[in-house]
């Protein structure tokens, strides 16, 4: 937290301090709304950086804002289409939301970029196990096991 605040104090016009604040708020303090504010500021300062959109998506997902989270993960991929990490993030979100055909397609797109990235083989395998059949597009009920990155 101290490092993030210092980075913001030293260079408030750069997105990196706000990205760090967002990570702290989401992963350490568990304050998703504060993380969203930090990631939004990072996106305003660095609109072409995919990390802001990806971080915002995770903060939104933490509050159950699934449509917004999915939109921001798609934005992350659009900003960096050659990123295996962005493909991993989007394929897991699509899988979690039970968009099986899209999740498989995204995992396969990612594997075309990074053929040896095992983080993409797991969501692809899950879509095969699920039969690739779409459902309601809603996340599973609480307590239902799911994969993650």
Residue 138, pLDDT score: 53
DSSP string for residues in 90-122: HHHHHHHTT-HHHHHHHHHHHHHHSTT-HHHHH
pLDDT digits (tens, 9 = 90+) for 49-83: 999 999 999 999 999 999 999 999 999 999 999 99
pTM of this prediction?
Answer: 0.81
Residue 132, pLDDT score: 55
CA 24 to chain centre: 16
Residue 1, pLDDT score: 85
Per-residue confidence in pLDDT tens, the chain, 149 aa: 888 888 888 888 999 999 999 999 999 999 999 999 999 999 999 999 999 999 999 999 999 999 999 999 999 999 999 999 999 999 999 999 999 999 999 999 999 999 988 888 888 888 888 875 545 555 555 444 444 44
What is the three-class DSSP state of 1? coil
Q: Are 70 and 94 in contact (CB under 8 A)?
A: yes
Long-range contacts for 11-17 (Cβ within 8 Å, ≥24 apart)? 13/45, 14/45, 14/46, 15/41, 15/42, 15/43, 15/45, 15/46, 15/49, 15/52, 16/42
Residue 145, pLDDT score: 43
Residue 147, pLDDT score: 43
């Amino acid at each position: 937290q101290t490092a993030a605040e210092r980075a913001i104090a030293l260079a408030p016009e750069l997105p990196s301090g706000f990205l760090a604040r967002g990570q702290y708020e989401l992963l350490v303090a568990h304050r998703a709304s504060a993380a969203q504010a930090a990631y939004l500021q990072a996106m305003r300062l660095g609109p072409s950086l995919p990390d802001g959109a990806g971080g915002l998506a995770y903060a939104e997902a933490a509050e159950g804002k699934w449509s917004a989270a999915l939109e921001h993960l798609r934005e992350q991929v659009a900003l960096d289409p050659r990123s295996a990490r962005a493909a991993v993030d989007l394929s897991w979100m699509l899988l979690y939301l039970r968009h099986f055909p899209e999740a498989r397609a995204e995992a396969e797109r990612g594997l075309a970029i990074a053929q040896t990235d095992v983080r993409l083989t797991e969501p692809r395998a899950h879509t095969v196990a699920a039969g690739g059949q779409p459902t309601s597009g809603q996340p599973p009920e609480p307590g239902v096991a799911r994969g993650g990155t």
